[in-house]
Amino acid sequence: MADRPGLGKTENDVGGHPHLINVESPRGASAIGLYNFVHGVVYLPASVIAGLLWALHPTYAFGFAAAVTVAAMSVFVHGLSRRNLSAR
């Protein structure tokens, strides 16, 4: 296990990703609670949209997910290309 400032102790899994196993800070519980709150606030509208589309036809839900994925990837790639151009 390795100590990381502000995170407490972490342990790496098979893929090498650190996982939080012990938060020693008194604000650690608040940080975890805030993370879960934001996570829920983001996923609630996504779940409602997916549920409504699924009620119409399951293909619509998957099509919408694919469209959002393509849009997000294009924004990501565009951001990377702008960063590479500004670094030159």
* Mean confidence (pLDDT) of the chain: 79
pLDDT band at 22 (very low <50, low <70, confident <90, very high): low
pLDDT band at 39 (very low <50, low <70, confident <90, very high): very high
In the predicted model, is pLDDT for residue 34 greater than 70? yes
Q: Strands of the chain (E only): list them.
A: 2-4, 8-12, 18-22
Distance between CA atoms of residues 6 and 18, nearest Å: 13
Residue extents of the structural domains in the chain: 1-43, 57-88
> Is this model's pTM higher than 0.85 or not?
no
In the predicted model, is pLDDT for residue 84 greater than 60? yes
DSSP-based three-state secondary structure for 35 = helix
Distance between CA atoms of residues 88 and 80, nearest Å: 13
pLDDT at position 74, please?
A: 94
pLDDT at position 20, please?
A: 53
